Structure 1
Amino acid sequence: MYRLSGVSKRYRRGKQTIDALDGIDLTIDQGDKLVVQGPTGGGKSTLLQMLGGLDKPTAGSVELDGTDLAKLSEARLTKVRASTIGFVFQSWNLIPTLNARENVEAALVPLGVRAKERRRRAAGALESVGLGERLTHLPSELSGGQQQRVAIARAIVKEPKVLLADEPTGNLDEDMRDEIMAVLESLWRERGLTFVMVTHDSSIARKAPRLAVIRKGHIKVSENTRA
């Protein structure tokens, strides 16, 4: 699925050079679940952006199914993101004037899916995250946990191979956190997704089958045989 070789990412901040990632090697197989932890500014979100084709490395290669994302044009990257990769973020980024179903449908527009099929698939995706009775509710009529469920439905409605989540429970209390993690866990198992998640929450990290810790641009991956 993913193979990262010698991936570095450097930023300029005034006269200072920041090494967000420094020569990272990483393999993520189809169906893996990898949780990424580390201090703020340690490179976690930068790694996720590389996996999602949202940023390109300063050096090295990021291969997805044998294709180096770093060498693709922006047009090709857009197609890969639209069809293959689902994104969930800490901020739900829902369109306030669209209802739940319409927000989910929006992910299918770039794929050229017809309106009737968009509605059917969006309703199915919302049903799969427990919001089958909230199709016509606006974001303002939903709780924080429900809005995150809509965002998850939007990510999976296009039936991606990969689901990338950046602090998806960061704005939620403990009960909502556990509910959202149960939804994500179920989707990962049932759909055979490759799931990579960035989190500060150690209780989530402890349950991960694979944990990657990034510090000062370097990565260390450990296996959890009890997960």
Structure 2
Amino acid sequence: MYSITGLTKTYETRDRGTIQALAGIDVEIDDGELVSIQGPTGGGKSTLLQMLGALDQPTDGTIKAFDHDLAQLGHAELTEIRAREIGFVFQHYNLIATLSATENVEAAILPTKAEKVTAAQRRELALEALDQVGLADRADHRPSELSGGQQQRVAIARALVKRPSVLLADEPTGNLDEHTRDEIWTVVEGLWRTQGLTVVVVTHDSALARRTPRRLRIADGRLTELD
């Protein structure tokens, strides 16, 4: 899925000068893997996830994925890859308050499939995605009528509705209590097992990370494998 070599990212700041967020990372992530990335704040976790998600480009190095080197692609090509191949889940659910759960999920289909999928088909796809995360009975509820865990399930459904090959999650349980965290992670694990997704999750939660078959740690922009 991902073959990364010599990945480097630096930023120029007024007060701190040059900051090296990633310092020559080499890593392979296979199709269908479930991987967690841990590390201190400012260590490079979110920067690496942005590279995996075609949201940013490195200063140097290669990111081979989806039959391309993402480091060499332009904005339009990266946008197409994100729309087609990658689902995102974040700590903050980013749901639209005035839309129902179904409408929030449908919104993820519009950018790439509006001309190919009818309104009825979009609704059917959204309802199917909500059913996959156990929220079929809350399809017409707005975010304010849902618990935090339910809102995150809607966010997961939104990420899955376009049927991506990769799911990238940035602190997906960071706003949830321990019980709800376990419920959400059980949903993610179930989707990984049944759908063959490649899942990469950034987390501060060691208990959650220990539930993943492979664990990585990033600190000072350098990546290491954990046992």
For the aligned pair, the TM-score class normalised by the smaller chain equals over 0.9
AA matched with 1:3: S
Confirm or deny that 1:200 pairs with 2:204.
Answer: yes
Corresponding residue of 1:138: 142
Q: How does 1:47-58 map to 2 (within 5 A)?
A: 47-58=48-59
* 2:109 aligned counterpart, secondary structure: helix
* 1:98 aligned counterpart, secondary structure: coil
Confirm or deny that 1:30 pairs with 2:31.
Answer: yes
Distance 1:145 1:207 in 2: 19
* 2:164 aligned counterpart, secondary structure: coil
Match of 2:181 among 170, 177, 181: 177
Confirm or deny that 1:127 pairs with 2:131.
Answer: yes
Confirm or deny that 1:12 pairs with 2:16.
Answer: no
Corresponding residue of 1:161: 165
* CA deviation after TM superposition for structure 1 residue 75, in Å: 1.1
AA matched with 2:64: E
AA matched with 1:92: Y
Q: Deviations over 1:28-73 (max 9, x none)?
A: 0000111000000000000000000001000001111331112112
* 1:107 aligned counterpart, secondary structure: coil
RMSD after superposition: 0.9
AA matched with 1:97: T
Count of matched residue positions in the alignment of Structure 1 and Structure 2: 223
Confirm or deny that 1:210 pairs with 2:214.
Answer: yes
AA matched with 1:74: H
Distance 1:66 1:97 in 2: 38
Distance 1:45 1:104 in 2: 24
Distance 2:224 2:129 in 1: 35
Distance 2:6 2:147 in 1: 42
Distance 1:105 1:140 in 2: 18
Question: Which stretches of structure 1, 4 residues or longer, exceed 3 Å deviation after superposition?
Answer: none
Q: Can you give the 5+ residue segments of structure 2 that lack an aligned partner in the other structure? A: none
* CA deviation after TM superposition for structure 1 residue 222, in Å: 3.4
Percent of paired sites with the same residue: 60
AA matched with 2:220: K
Q: Can you give the 5+ residue segments of structure 1 that lack an aligned partner in the other structure? A: none
* CA deviation after TM superposition for structure 1 residue 101, in Å: 0.2
Of residues 197-206 and 59-68 in structure 1, the stretch that sits farther from structure 2 once superposed is 59-68
Query: With structure 1 as the length reference, what TM-score do the two structures score?
Result: 0.96
AA matched with 2:160: I
Corresponding residue of 1:110: 111
Query: With structure 2 as the length reference, what TM-score do the two structures score?
Result: 0.96
